[in-house]
Chain A
């Protein structure tokens, strides 16, 4: 379903870019400032929903093939599980830790940054998939 509205399309072309930059900022700064994987992923998912509503499903289909979305959801979840398993077992089994880094920098606090990125990807695609089930009734 596509609404042919030139003003809406041109405004959204700039708005979606800033929404996505803000979402990536929240995900990457999740361990330093308010936010994190879930909040940033929800914002990223809402930007995908806006693209779907404004430019139509075929426009998003060119960028992201909808048959690959289950893989986009499951592969980060598997990586998340493996990283979390490593962080649970590494203390008792004396496995190597990731470098802690200097506090306050982006590359710090060990596993939290990759876990936030994985959760952000999962939440964004799950919310988009839930919306797309409602809107297009394709199961």
Chain B
């Protein structure tokens, strides 16, 4: 019994770590632009595909080199997506219609391309971290990698957003575009940078955890949804909230899978999302950015 609970918690936290990472990649773009990139899940899956084609069964040095390469390429792609998304907005990024349409269509485009190239199959990938045993149950090494990546990105982002000039400038954007512009920041460049960073976060995470996710063209939607739920639970824009929200959602999903079967996981996500939006629309931990008065 105890071991079962332990397994649920470990797996839940690890899966939740992925949601948390996606939530953080949402947050940096949202804070810089007010945009939520609906394609973030497919960008994450793109990382998984990169792992399959570049580093399946590879040794650690190759794996690391390919991780770096894949992250950079994905970062450039996402920055380009950001450029396209911001193109019709001209400074007023509160106009939701436009960016919702463009990010959703990019999401559909990525999935359609993957489907045309690789078919509707799930690819299995093996990573460099060996499996280990917890309470006698074999657990893939990527679980540890997922949790490490979540903590690593959290610390790195906290440092970046509070201690570097560029990071502070991005944080300033989350308060007020006009003030930031007036203070001489080049808003558009910072926003593209934020898109790029979100690409690195989601892409590298997808690459690292490829062994434990379903690397298939239709999996992206599920991750973007759960990432969004983690972001909403933690309060959109709030990375500390995401750090807690992700594992919370992950453990809940695992518990659900254990009690009523894995087939209902998406239904559980939907119900959690609807309930959260109805009762705690600002998230359980509130917003990180100051509310406008």
A binds B: no
> CB within 8 Å of A: which residues of B?
none
> CB within 8 Å of B: which residues of A?
none
